[in-house]
Every structure is written in C-alpha cells, then in structure tokens.
Amino acid sequence: MSVLDEELHSAATAAAAGDREAVERVMTTLWPQVVRYCRTRVGNSTQVTRPADEVAHEALLAVARELPALARSDHPVREVYRVVSRTVSDVHGGSAGSPDVPAEVVGLLHHLDATAREIVLLRVIDGLSVHDTAGLLGLPVGRVLVVQHEALRTLRAKVA
C-alpha cells in the first residue's frame, strides 16, 4: 500500500465510523487530485455541458458515499479513481477521452489495453506528472513509466 493509500485508508475507516473530521480530511486530501483529473477529462471550455469543478464536486460526493468501500479496500486510491472516472463518464455521456483528442489518436489508442490507454491519456494527452498518474491509478511510478514506454512503442509501430 502506498503512503497515500495508507493515509486514505486510515481516514476513510474513521470517516465510515462517523468521524466528521476524518470525512473532511478525506475530502481535503482528495480535492486537488480530483479537480485536476476532472479538469483534464472535462476541460473548462464553453463547449462542455458542465464545468470541470462542478463535476469534481459531484465526484467527491460520490466518493463520500463510497467511504465504507474505501475503508474496506486494500487500495483506496484505485477505488477513488474508479468512482471519479465513472462519475465523469456518467456526466459526459460515456466519453472516455479529453475533449481535444483528435479522432485519429483515439483510434490508435484502441490498440492498447485499458491501463496503457489510460496512462497515455493521463501522461501524454493530459500532461499529468508520472507521480500524479501513479497516484490516480494506484500503480508504482516505475510501472507507469514502463507501461507508458511500451504503449508509445506500440503506437509508433502502428503509425509506421
């Protein structure tokens, strides 16, 4: 379990038991990552149906409803990511990519497995750091780097 997983697990366990300060601690800990994720996925242009910060609020409410599941999970960061990504997908009609990703790139990404596709979207398209990506996906930093390298190699081969 990562440090963030341990911190989140501890706070979620206390929050699920009714500790209001722990609920606040969970929300405060997650807010920056959730907002960043929503902003990269939803964008803040005038063409989106709902602003990213509004989607982030809704996603955190969904996470709050899942506090007992977070407390039981060995990897609460993954659980948070699942809830947030599902909320973003629900709000935007199942769109899985960033609004500015060209159709040709989306077509190429279908050659990758789901984890590699998400890493490429987060790292290359959305510009998140390797540490933020690893935290969102609940993976070690080294694993994110290896999967990203292999995914980009696969995509280069498809283009060539």
User: What's the CATH code of the domain at 112?
Assistant: 1.10.10.10
Q: pLDDT (tens digit, 9 = 90+) per residue, 142-160?
A: 999 999 999 999 999 988 8
77 and 114 assigned to the same domain: no
Q: What percent of the chain is predicted at pLDDT more than 70?
A: 84
Residue 91 has pLDDT above 60, yes or no: yes
75 and 124 assigned to the same domain: no
Residues whose CB falls within 8 Å of the CB of residue 102, separated by 6 or more in sequence, listed in order: none
Q: Which domain holds residue 73?
A: 3-92
60 and 127 assigned to the same domain: no
Listed residues 70, 92, 114: the one ending a domain: 92
33 and 65 assigned to the same domain: yes
The mean-pLDDT minimum among 13-27, 59-73, 90-104 falls in 90-104
Q: How confident is the model at residue 103 (pLDDT cuts 50, 70, 90)?
A: low
Q: What is the rounded average pLDDT for all residues in the chain?
A: 82
Residue 68, in any domain of the structure:
yes
* CATH number for the domain harbouring residue 67: 1.10.1740.10
Residues whose CB falls within 8 Å of the CB of residue 42, separated by 6 or more in sequence, listed in order: 48, 50, 51, 52, 55, 88, 91, 92, 99
- Per-residue 3-state assignment (H helix, E strand, C coil) for the chain: CCHHHHHHHHHHHHHHCCCHHHHHHHHHHHHHHHHHHHHHHHCCCCCCCCCHHHHHHHHHHHHHHCHHHHHHCCCHHHHHHHHHHHHHHHHCCCCCCCCCCCHHHHHHHCCCCHHHHHHHHHHHHCCCCHHHHHHHHCCCHHHHHHHHHHHHHHHHHHHC
19 and 73 assigned to the same domain: yes
Residue 97, in any domain of the structure:
no
Listed residues 92, 112, 141: the one ending a domain: 92
Residue 98, in any domain of the structure:
no
Q: How confident is the model at residue 93 (pLDDT cuts 50, 70, 90)?
A: low
Q: pLDDT (tens digit, 9 = 90+) per residue, 15-64?
A: 999 999 999 999 998 998 888 888 777 765 555 567 888 999 999 999 99
Distance CA 44, CA 133 (A): 20
In the chain, the number of structural domains is 2
Listed residues 92, 113, 142: the one ending a domain: 92
C-alpha dihedral sign at 132, 135, 139, 142: positive
pLDDT value for 151: 95
Better pLDDT: 117 or 126: 117
Structure tokens, 126 = 């959305």
User: Which amino acid, 151?
Assistant: A
Residue 92 has pLDDT above 70, yes or no: no
Residue 115, in any domain of the structure:
yes
